[in-house]
């Protein structure tokens, strides 16, 4: 009997083992961690992502909107570059905003903030190439304003960095030039005649409208990145610089001579006052440019090892952290100690008339994160995450104890990284995205140029876990992540009867001629343009003012004219204008380019251009 029982138990145990082995069914070859990652990133049909990530498009000039955790690219928002898919830069309004520039180099997006929290109103982003800042309205996802080229600045890599109540967006020169723009001075005059400027762009608290408030001019270092103080360090902002050697050629050698460059600590509250005192600034390029040697208390250089790239302020504002890209450590500086050093005039000397604070007096840690530290982000548990370009890794370390607690490999060389709400005063933790620069073999081949690789990493546990590889279009440098419920987007533009150039019913459409200028007031509604035959004379300047009178969500109409190089989209309830010069005679179909209905193909008409005799 005993044996029989033992047998029975053994049989049962075997069954359990077999059943357990089989309980994954046909997916049994999938490793559990792979399965967990698959489920963690899968957003089932009909469900929505938890976070928006806004990534800069680099030299594409645009902004990429990505859902987290699915990593799906939901939208490319055109910013600095025309976009025929939406008509951006083609209709008269946006064409004027772009001002003839066909591209930008979009680097660092940052949200508007209220009390140090992302408020979901606007996204700012800089154009490194042409010294511009754009502002995207997060209700419409439209680029609403582009400021610049900002006088005196160029290669404005250090931008667009927002203060805790969106008082200012800061940006600064990377490649110094003689100022103002279009001034010639030979390269040999670099140290004397070339300047690196910091600009404070004020933001209207209601409308968001930007203006150049004031600038500060420095010797020709290369300002690189920035972050605004918050909480205890509110009122200050920080910029890294390299090339304190002030070399003007062979920079990859000449700008890497010194063991330490600087973080510039700028007191923007003091600068605001200096901008009211004509003895402290000069008007250059139409802007008040403050001379920091004439405005004591405005700026201090903090030595930082070596060729620092990123500077990041901790959520509580107590620390600012420099990533020296040619160093194996991040240098952590204590804001309170900086204040004490300034009070005590605890300086190593000066650099071009601006005090250099003693390194040892303000540095509180050199955290041995690994090779090539660039940028640091934060979570909700007091940890910092630093990207390591040379090592292709992310290091997790503890603020305060400075202990490195975890490291994860990424594929491959990482630049920036972003955590959920990681630049706010209350980061969410949870997700980290590594913005890796080279994907090499991580995706199907698409020719000599490979996509970048954004890797989603779970940072909710003690150990970081890699969840997903996601290809990106060229070429994100930085990204910011916001909780999805903070944004509430516009679905349909409200009908405004009095809106300039709008018409709202077929009987009000018209063609108005004044000399050789023709205004066509047109409506678009499924599946018809009214009028659908437009006849003009060769040489006429023709403005098509098109109102999409739909009030249904997502019923976009396109308007294209064959061979006339025109395409524009008009959203429900919107009016937009596009202009052509009718220099080619003949018959040119126009048609709806954005699929709108079963009879979309029939939504067409003709532009007839009568030849000059």
Least distance between its own copies and beta carbon 307 (Å)? 8
Q: Which residues contact 562 (CB under 8 A, 6 or more apart)?
A: 588, 589, 590, 591
Least distance between its own copies and beta carbon 474 (Å)? 4
Residues 193-212 that bind its own copies (CB under 8 A): 194
- Residue 502 CB coordination number (10 Å): 21
478 counts as binding its own copies under rule CB under 8 A: no
Residues 325-384 that bind its own copies (CB under 8 A): 325-326, 372
- Residue 207 CB coordination number (10 Å): 10
Cα dihedral sign, 159-163-164-167: negative
Stretch that binds its own copies, among 55-63, 393-401, 425-433, 503-511 (CB under 8 A): 55-63
**Could you tell me which residues are beta bridge partners of residue 458?**
431, 465
CB 424, CB 116: distance < 8 Å: yes
Residues 9-38 that bind its own copies (CB under 8 A): 9, 12-13, 15-16, 19-20, 23-25, 27, 30, 32, 34-38
CB 374, CB 414: distance < 8 Å: yes
CB 196, CB 172: distance < 8 Å: yes
Dihedral over alpha carbons 536, 539, 540, 541 (to 10 degrees): 140
Closer residue to its own copies, CB minimum distance, 309 or 337:
309
**The one among 461, 488, 514, 515 contacting its own copies by CB under 8 A:** 488
Residues 555-574 that bind its own copies (CB under 8 A): 555-556, 558, 560, 562-563, 565, 567, 569, 571-574
Residues 107-146 that bind its own copies (CB under 8 A): 129-131, 139-142
- What tokens does 22 get? 């089989």
User: How many angstroms separate the CA atoms of 364 and 352, rounded?
Assistant: 26
163 counts as binding its own copies under rule CB under 8 A: no
Listed residue (118, 111, 104, 196) closest to 160, CA to CA: 111
Stretch that binds its own copies, among 54-62, 298-306, 310-318, 501-509 (CB under 8 A): 54-62
User: How many angstroms separate the CA atoms of 279 and 348, rounded?
Assistant: 27
**The one among 69, 155, 292, 422 contacting its own copies by CB under 8 A:** 155
Residues 391-420 that bind its own copies (CB under 8 A): 411, 415
**The one among 398, 407, 442, 579 contacting its own copies by CB under 8 A:** 442
Residues 575-594 that bind its own copies (CB under 8 A): 584-589, 591, 593-594
511 counts as binding its own copies under rule CB under 8 A: no
DSSP collapsed to 3 states, 592-610: CCCCCCCCHHHCEEEEEEE
Q: Which helix (H) or strand (E) holds 298?
A: none
How do 210-218 and 287-290 pair as beta strands? parallel
Closer residue to its own copies, CB minimum distance, 267 or 593:
593
User: How many angstroms separate the CA atoms of 572 and 494, rounded?
Assistant: 9
465 counts as binding its own copies under rule CB under 8 A: no
Residues 244-303 that bind its own copies (CB under 8 A): 248-252, 255-256
What does R_g of the chain's alpha carbons equal in angstroms?
28
Stretch that binds its own copies, among 114-122, 181-189, 201-209, 417-425 (CB under 8 A): 181-189
Closer residue to its own copies, CB minimum distance, 241 or 367:
241
3 counts as binding its own copies under rule CB under 8 A: no
Closer residue to its own copies, CB minimum distance, 390 or 404:
390
């Amino acid at each position: 009997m005993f044996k029989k029982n033992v047998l029975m138990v053994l049989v049962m145990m075997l069954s359990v083992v077999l059943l357990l082995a089989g309980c994954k069914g046909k997916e049994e070859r999938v490793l559990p961690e792979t399965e967990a990652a698959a489920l963690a990133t899968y957003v089932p049909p009909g469900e929505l992502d938890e976070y928006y990530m806004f990534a800069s498009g680099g030299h594409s000039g645009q902004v990429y909107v990505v859902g987290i955790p699915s990593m799906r690219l939901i939208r490319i928002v055109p910013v600095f570059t025309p976009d025929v898919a939406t008509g951006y830069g083609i209709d008269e309004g946006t064409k004027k905003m772009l001002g003839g520039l066909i591209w930008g180099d979009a680097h660092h997006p940052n949200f508007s903030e209220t009390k140090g929290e992302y408020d979901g109103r606007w996204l700012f982003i800089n154009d490194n190439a042409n010294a511009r800042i754009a502002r995207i309205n997060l209700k419409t996802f439209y680029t609403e304003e582009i400021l610049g080229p900002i006088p005196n600045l160029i290669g404005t890599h250090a931008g667009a960095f927002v203060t805790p109540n969106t008082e200012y967006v800061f940006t600064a020169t990377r490649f110094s030039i003689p100022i103002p723009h279009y001034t010639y001075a030979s390269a040999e005059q670099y140290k004397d005649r070339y300047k690196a400027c910091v600009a404070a762009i004020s933001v209207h608290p209601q409308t968001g409208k930007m203006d150049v408030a004031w600038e500060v001019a420095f010797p020709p270092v290369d300002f690189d990145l920035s972050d605004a103080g918050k909480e205890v360090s509110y009122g200050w902002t920080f910029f890294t610089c390299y090339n304190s050697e002030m070399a003007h050629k062979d920079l990859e050698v000449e700008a890497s001579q010194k063991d330490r460059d600087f973080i510039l600590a700028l007191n923007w509250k003091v600068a605001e006052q200096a901008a009211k005192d004509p003895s402290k600034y000069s008007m250059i390029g139409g802007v008040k440019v403050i001379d920091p040697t004439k405005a004591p208390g405005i700026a201090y250089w903090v030595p930082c090892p070596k060729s620092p790239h990123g500077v990041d302020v901790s959520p509580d504002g107590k620390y600012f952290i420099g990533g020296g890209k040619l160093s194996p450590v991040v240098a952590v500086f204590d804001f309170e100690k900086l204040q004490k050093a300034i009070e005590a005039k605890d300086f190593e000397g000066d650099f071009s008339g601006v005090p250099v604070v003693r390194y040892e007096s303000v540095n509180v840690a050199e955290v041995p994160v690994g090779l090539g530290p660039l940028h640091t982000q934060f979570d909700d548990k007091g940890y910092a995450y630093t990207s390591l370009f040379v090592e292709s890794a992310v290091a997790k370390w503890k603020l305060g104890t400075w202990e490195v607690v975890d490291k994860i490999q990424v594929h491959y060389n990482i630049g920036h990284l972003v955590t959920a709400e990681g630049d706010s005063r209350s980061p969410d933790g949870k997700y980290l995205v590594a913005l890796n620069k080279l994907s090499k073999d991580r995706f199907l081949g698409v020719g000599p140029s490979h996509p970048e690789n954004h890797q989603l990493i779970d940072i909710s546990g003690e150990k970081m876990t890699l969840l997903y590889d996601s290809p990106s279009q060229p070429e994100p440098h930085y990204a910011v992540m916001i909780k999805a419920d903070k944004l509430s987007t516009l679905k349909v533009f409200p009908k405004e009867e009095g809106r300039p150039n709008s018409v709202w019913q077929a009987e009000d459409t018209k063609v108005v001629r004044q000399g050789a200028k023709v205004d066509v007031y047109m409506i678009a509604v499924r599946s018809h343009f009214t009028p659908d035959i437009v006849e003009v004379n060769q040489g006429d300047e023709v403005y098509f003012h098109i109102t999409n009178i739909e009030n249904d969500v997502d019923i976009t109409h396109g308007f294209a004219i064959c061979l006339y190089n025109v395409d524009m989209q008009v959203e429900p309830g919107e009016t937009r204008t596009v202009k052509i010069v009718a220099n080619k005679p003949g018959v040119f179909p126009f048609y709806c380019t954005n699929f709108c209905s079963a009879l979309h193909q029939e939504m067409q008409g003709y532009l007839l251009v009568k030849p000059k005799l």
